[in-house]
Structure 1
Amino acid sequence: MTTPGAVIVDAASYAQAVEDATKASAAYYAGGNSVLDDDAYDRLLRGIAAWEAGHPDQVLPESPTGKVAGGAVEGDVPHTVAMLSLDNVFSPEEFTAWTASLARRIGRDVARFSVEPKLDGLAIAARYTRGRLTRLITRGDGTAGEDVSHAIGTIEGLPAELAEPVTVEARGEVLMTALQFEYANTVRTTHGGAPFANPRGASAGTLRARERAYTVPMTFFGYGLLPVADTGTQLADRLGELAHSDLMTLAGELGVNTTATTAVPGITTDNVEQALARVREIAALRAELPFGIDGIVIKADLAADQQTAGSGSRAPRWAIAYKLPAVEKITRLLEVEWNVGRTGIIAPRGVLEPVEIDGATITYATLHNPGDITRRDLRLGDHVMVHRAGDVIPRVEAPVAHLRTGDEQPIAFPEMCPRCGAGIDTSEQRWRCVNGRNCHLVAALSYAAGRDQLDIEGLGHTRVVQLVDAGLVKDLADLFTLTRDQLLNLERMGATSTDNLLTAIGAAKEQPLSRVLCALGVRGTGRSMSRRIARHFATMDNIRAADADAMRQVDGIGTEKAPSIVAELAELAPLIGKLAAAGVNMTEPGVTPPAPRVDGADGSTESAEAAGGPLAGMTVVVTGAMTGVLEKLSRNQMNELIERAGGRSSSSVSKKTSLVVAGEGAGSKRAKAETLGIRLATPDEFAALVAEHVD
């Protein structure tokens, strides 16, 4: 579906739209402080273009439709070749129409397309003289740009010296990765500055900043390589004849960073259908990338096709940007709610003025923790940048500080637990009620009784509330000392319901240690981590005896997480003792303590017991709906199966993934596996591989 533009009804509203777009563009390219988010700006431009198409005799000379993006910014360094923008399409139909027009222009179908992510950064030209980086220039108005050579040495991916002493110009995008953005805001606020609203604005502001008291890193990704004065005829001719894909290969060989080093490398395709398939693949991986993209760039790959198609005053005719739905929008922060989780964690949640992002209406977003609120200087009434990608929980990035009116108010932090009124432990970044799990006992017990923990059938939320309100259960262990008479005295508890619940509680006593550990809800662990801890130590006694160094030996537990897990297990010691006294199992079946360690194929370690399984040394991801003998297994049971067979389960695909089990409806994870060349298996193939371990 085509993205609609802003509705412009007359010449006056058209003139106002042109003024708004020009100001927004100037503010963004000058320092990253646009009053409009990407989606609003795109809709405004499309509305302007639509009005101009119907009123060609009334087009204003300052209209942004005929100018290079960033044209409002003056530059004094001439470009050797015009540094143009790209025209946009927003749907498969628009893209197909563009390819048809390109085919008419060159007299035949395009021989080959290049497809690569459209990085959400700031375009620059990096000039190398005899292999040494000598100058950095912004896009400016496309014919001349601003000299930002003071930033040399602060941008990763732009080496100070190329692998060969050639004189060339590398063009590409400067951006901040997610980690660089977090670091930039931490440093900026430490020095008294307002936090950046988003990584792109941070890149724009940082690139132009001079004489700052601090430096923050950025990253360059190249998308072009061309000759400049003194390049030399032979090399210049060679660059002019190479396909775009070959230019990118050469850039990488010279040491310039390109998307070839990422999970979404540029590829070539032979036709429109393949190009659109790649668009879908990159879009599916968007949420998992460590940097922002706002679309996919498709180019005629061959130099001959590009030369025949030519360029307009604003954009080349042989390339197009397929824009993706915006994942960031500006809205207002109305309130902050403080919610208490099942382990007593007090989490702030932002209440937003409703805003639509990527097809979903967002009214709440995470604010992480009190320290994050302070560091970002968030205030009630602030205009804030909200980010949502795929199924990721929406989060508030930062206030859009230049939109403040002075009416914004400080966010009040709770002085006592908002649930039970007890004190608050503020010693860690995430604040916690001093009553811990007992503050939200109903939530803690409901979680413990869940299918993937102790699996106590008949103990739903309503029944848990009834038991807590009656004073029969004050912690998890009390469940296992309930008597038949106690239950029969409760409302709506007949003999059959009572006997069924007691049977289910009795069965829960026999659950493996990994499920008991998971039911305890130790912070920093979950179902997979609980299984790893249980399989590593085999018994609860061994777990409780482990210090931080011993806990770090468990796969996936690092130096930061280990001490907190050990401390919380010590805190839970009385409850664990009560559980053991009530007859709850405290061992992991099939594991012999202590399991000797062996080196895994990837340099990791694993237990000798697991090393002999068919998945030994493998990291396995399950995605999509399972079929056949695996159909009735929950995702948690699938992960348990993987670990019984010697493997490690994971929820995300990366270069370390060994196998992806792709069932029906597998989407982004399958696409990423195919991109990375990771082995794929159907549910039936996987079932055959681990047949001896399937219950």
Structure 2
Amino acid sequence: MSEAPPITQLADQAAYAAAVQLAVDAAAAYYGDGESTLDDDAYDRLVRGIEAYEAEHPEDVLPDSPTGKVAGGAVVGDVPHTVPMLSLDNVFGAEQLADWVAGLERRLGRGVESWSVEPKLDGLAVSARYRRGRLVQLVTRGDGTAGEDVSHAIGTVLGLPGRLAEPVTVEMRGEVMMTAAQFEEACAKRQGHDGTTFANPRSAAAGTLRAKDRPYVCELTFFGYGALPLDGTPDELAGRLRELPHSQIMELVAKLGVRTAAATPVPGIVATGVEAIQARVGEIAAARATLDIGIDGIVIKADSAADQAEAGFSSRAPRWAIAYKLPPVEKITTLLSVEWGVGRTGIIAPRAVLEPVELDGSTVTYATLHNPADITRRGLMLGDKVSVYKAGDVIPRVEAPVVHLRTGDEKPIVYPDKCPACGGEIDTSQERWRCVQGRACQALPSISYAVGRDQLDIEGLGDNRIVQMLAAGFITDFADLFTLTREQVLSLERMGEVSTDNLLAAIEQAKGRPLSRVFAALGVRGTGRSMSRRIARHFGTMEEIRAAGSDGVQEVEGVGPEKATLLVAELAELSDLIDKLVAAGVNMTEPGGAQRVVVTQEEGEESDRAVGPLDGMSVVVTGAMSGPLEQLSRNEVNELVERAGGKSSSGVSARTSLLVAGEKAGSKRTKAEQLGVRIVTPEEFAEMVHDLLPD
């Protein structure tokens, strides 16, 4: 985890005053209609810059300064809070976390026995008031002392039931947000209404919660993070809410029917000591990219009510809780242009060219735009300020234009009317446009991919040689390579007898590659090398794959209905190419494929699955390999993992069983150490799969 990111430097009083006004305006916009002029990271850097300037120039502090105020303080509310709704102070790394823990324990004069560790959900803080079990009022945080009544949203917020499981009077506090599915639905409704869309789930939730007169309704989700007594709360319940540890209060909240982080893949836990806290921080951070809800950090609290009471509060935050902020995965930047490329299967794919922006530890210049229909749905224009999202190893993608920042100088995105590669016609009948020539349009990259090291691995067959063969009419696809004659190859420029014989020997050797390699060489849309291995091992033969149908293909892990339909259609389209490969004598079986053993589950049911030395393990390989693995490509090592019964993965998470760490393993090794994942050297791994190593 990195330490605090850079702050906005303020050179003088004028810059400071301008920064304060910008921060106030941005906060007012965000907590007003959800459409801020700054993304979270830019706002945080701005406020830290204001704090730094005020520390050096206390005589210049302006009354409107956002420092010392709770988040949302720019919004005026008229509903007083029973207890102030405060913000949390932040730390940005392990060292700062350890310092904060030590500071709290010094304040208490003793150690803290247990800590509550929960995901920090990226939404809008609200209080929900229940009278005799019925939800009667929703109030935003506002300035922390009073908030805005948004009770009109009752009935549109999942996780916040209209009636509790018991008829009690109580106040629930939590975050209102949108899940990924709710955000997509909200964008579609707004697009259909006025042709615009929301910038991101957080702003969509904030704007939706406060909107009273929209002609369409957008669903929201609530996650509770606390509960308080109200006037009329039974004495017994009020006492429990004041005296129970936070973790037990959250159990009570969930029991009453309110959704909490316990319903997510990253539930809150109770930890003892800084190491245990940091381990959970690592687990939540690793899972972040897989969640369907936004999180921007982890909240750490002293679990004991006695510790909380003794630690007390500052003017804006409790002293017994802290937010461990994670690096931003979303930023606002400018869409400069759109590039149109053609893939090896003929798919015409747009790519956004962006004004470079630092995001999730790297500089992002390009981002995914999916297809023309996606561009239309999002209402993008050249010159737009756009929200760009990236998490973990995921390719950055453009979420949406920030419509309220448009100047009027933006221009429409021009779609191609001819194939950018060959100038031929484009099939626009589906959302993903395609050159009518399909693979023939990109014969060179298609064949080059098929003969690559991780597919058929035909040594000595580079792009220049493939171009010669295409120009001579000797091949039209990679299946034709297996019917080349010695005379044809000898006739090519700079091909002597020795080089010809070597190339033909390499092509002959490629005939014996396992089915997983052959399937990968086909370049089936929706599959990659890992999926090709899973499919080949599941069915064992190409004949079984072709006969499987959509339902049969869905039995393969990671293949859902949509991907199965696409895969079956693609295989039908590739039928002639596969027939040519079969006729040429190319191997169509997978060693060890479709070999299963029956195991008895606890329920007494029988299931079948492959077994091996890595049976059921999720394995990540990183760094430079050495020893017996030194000459293998990363894909070949991943093949070893799957032949041994394991599942190869690219990212370390709490579900990772084993990390094979070579030289310069880097951040993946660090994350594995934080999560307590078993780590082995390449030599140790080679010993584990010794019987499967190539000769």
Cα distance in structure 2, aligned partners of 1:396 and 1:650: 25
SS where residue 181 of structure 1 aligns?
helix
SS where residue 391 of structure 2 aligns?
coil
Residue 14 of structure 1: how far off its partner (Å): 1.6
Structure 2 counterpart of 1:16, which letter? A
SS where residue 262 of structure 2 aligns?
helix
Cα distance in structure 1, aligned partners of 2:602 and 2:567: 26
Residue 353 of structure 1: how far off its partner (Å): 1.1
SS where residue 396 of structure 1 aligns?
strand
Stretch of structure 1 that moved more, 54-63 or 256-265: 256-265
Cα distance in structure 2, aligned partners of 1:602 and 1:483: 59
* Contact 2:286–2:653 (CA under 8 A) maintained in structure 1: no
Aligned to 1:80: 82
Residue 372 of structure 1: how far off its partner (Å): 0.6
Residue 678 of structure 1: how far off its partner (Å): 9.6
Question: Once superposed, what is the RMSD of the aligned Cα atoms?
Answer: 3.2
Aligned to 1:661: 658
Residue 542 of structure 1: how far off its partner (Å): 4.2
Residue 33 of structure 1: how far off its partner (Å): 0.5
Q: Aligned residues: percent identity?
A: 64
Cα distance in structure 2, aligned partners of 1:258 and 1:375: 33
Give the 3 Å change call, closer, same or farther, for CA 439–316 of structure 1 in structure 2.
same
Residue 59 of structure 1: how far off its partner (Å): 1.5
Aligned to 2:459: 457
* Contact 1:621–1:652 (CA under 8 A) maintained in structure 2: no
Structure 2 counterpart of 1:33, which letter? E
Cα distance in structure 1, aligned partners of 2:191 and 2:668: 36
Aligned to 1:16: 18
Aligned to 2:286: 284
Q: Residue 294 in 1 paired to residue 296 in 2?
A: yes
Any residues of structure 2 matched to 1:540-555 within 5 Å, and which? 540-555=542-557
Residue 355 of structure 1: how far off its partner (Å): 1.3
Any residues of structure 2 matched to 1:41-440 within 5 Å, and which? 41-440=43-442
SS where residue 251 of structure 1 aligns?
helix
Stretch of structure 1 that moved more, 101-110 or 82-91: 101-110
Structure 1 counterpart of 2:372, which letter? P
Residue 545 of structure 1: how far off its partner (Å): 4.2
Cα distance in structure 2, aligned partners of 1:55 and 1:121: 34
Gaps of 5+ in 1: none
* Contact 1:652–1:669 (CA under 8 A) maintained in structure 2: no
Stretch of structure 1 that moved more, 370-379 or 637-646: 637-646
Stretch of structure 1 that moved more, 353-362 or 549-558: 549-558
Any residues of structure 2 matched to 1:624-643 within 5 Å, and which? 624=622, 634-641=633-640, 643=642
String of CA shifts for 1:27-50, please: whole Å, max 9, x gaps: 000111111111111111111111
Question: Match for 1:622 among 613, 620, 623?
Answer: 620
* Contact 2:381–2:412 (CA under 8 A) maintained in structure 1: yes
Cα distance in structure 2, aligned partners of 1:600 and 1:348: 49
SS where residue 81 of structure 1 aligns?
coil
Stretch of structure 1 that moved more, 515-524 or 466-475: 466-475
Any residues of structure 2 matched to 1:465-476 within 5 Å, and which? 465-476=467-478
* Contact 2:418–2:425 (CA under 8 A) maintained in structure 1: yes
Any residues of structure 2 matched to 1:496-515 within 5 Å, and which? 496-515=498-517
String of CA shifts for 1:380-439, please: whole Å, max 9, x gaps: 010101112222211111000000011111111111110001111122221111111111
Cα distance in structure 2, aligned partners of 1:413 and 1:629: 50
* Contact 2:659–2:672 (CA under 8 A) maintained in structure 1: no
Structure 1 counterpart of 2:657, which letter? V
* Contact 2:332–2:387 (CA under 8 A) maintained in structure 1: yes
Cα distance in structure 2, aligned partners of 1:190 and 1:531: 42
String of CA shifts for 1:183-226, please: whole Å, max 9, x gaps: 22122212225211111101101111224333332222221122
Give the 3 Å change call, closer, same or farther, for CA 318–411 of structure 1 in structure 2.
same
Aligned to 1:32: 34
* Contact 1:263–1:672 (CA under 8 A) maintained in structure 2: no
Structure 2 counterpart of 1:376, which letter? R
String of CA shifts for 1:341-367, please: whole Å, max 9, x gaps: 111111100111111113322111111
Give the 3 Å change call, closer, same or farther, for CA 93–533 of structure 1 in structure 2.
closer
Residue 503 of structure 1: how far off its partner (Å): 1.1
Give the 3 Å change call, closer, same or farther, for CA 215–685 of structure 1 in structure 2.
farther
* Contact 1:597–1:606 (CA under 8 A) maintained in structure 2: no
Cα distance in structure 2, aligned partners of 1:72 and 1:88: 20
Residue 686 of structure 1: how far off its partner (Å): 7.3
Stretch of structure 1 that moved more, 81-90 or 111-120: 111-120
Number of residues paired by the alignment? Answer: 687
String of CA shifts for 1:138-190, please: whole Å, max 9, x gaps: 10111111111222222222233333332222211111122222222122212
Stretch of structure 1 that moved more, 511-520 or 539-548: 539-548
Give the 3 Å change call, closer, same or farther, for CA 443–210 of structure 1 in structure 2.
same
SS where residue 126 of structure 2 aligns?
strand
* Contact 1:329–1:355 (CA under 8 A) maintained in structure 2: yes
Give the 3 Å change call, closer, same or farther, for CA 62–647 of structure 1 in structure 2.
closer
Residue 304 of structure 1: how far off its partner (Å): 1.7
Stretch of structure 1 that moved more, 270-279 or 226-235: 270-279
String of CA shifts for 1:248-287, please: whole Å, max 9, x gaps: 2222232222222333222333333443343333333322
* Contact 2:657–2:678 (CA under 8 A) maintained in structure 1: yes
Structure 1 counterpart of 2:509, which letter? A
Structure 1 counterpart of 2:290, which letter? E
* Contact 2:177–2:221 (CA under 8 A) maintained in structure 1: yes
Give the 3 Å change call, closer, same or farther, for CA 144–45 of structure 1 in structure 2.
same
| TM-score normalized with structure 2 length | 0.90
Give the 3 Å change call, closer, same or farther, for CA 175–370 of structure 1 in structure 2.
same
SS where residue 134 of structure 1 aligns?
strand
Cα distance in structure 1, aligned partners of 2:432 and 2:440: 17
Residue 116 of structure 1: how far off its partner (Å): 2.0
Give the 3 Å change call, closer, same or farther, for CA 343–601 of structure 1 in structure 2.
farther
Stretch of structure 1 that moved more, 59-68 or 641-650: 641-650
Structure 2 counterpart of 1:268, which letter? V
Cα distance in structure 1, aligned partners of 2:462 and 2:160: 58
String of CA shifts for 1:568-611, please: whole Å, max 9, x gaps: 2222222222222322223344557xx999799599x9996x55
Cα distance in structure 2, aligned partners of 1:183 and 1:71: 30
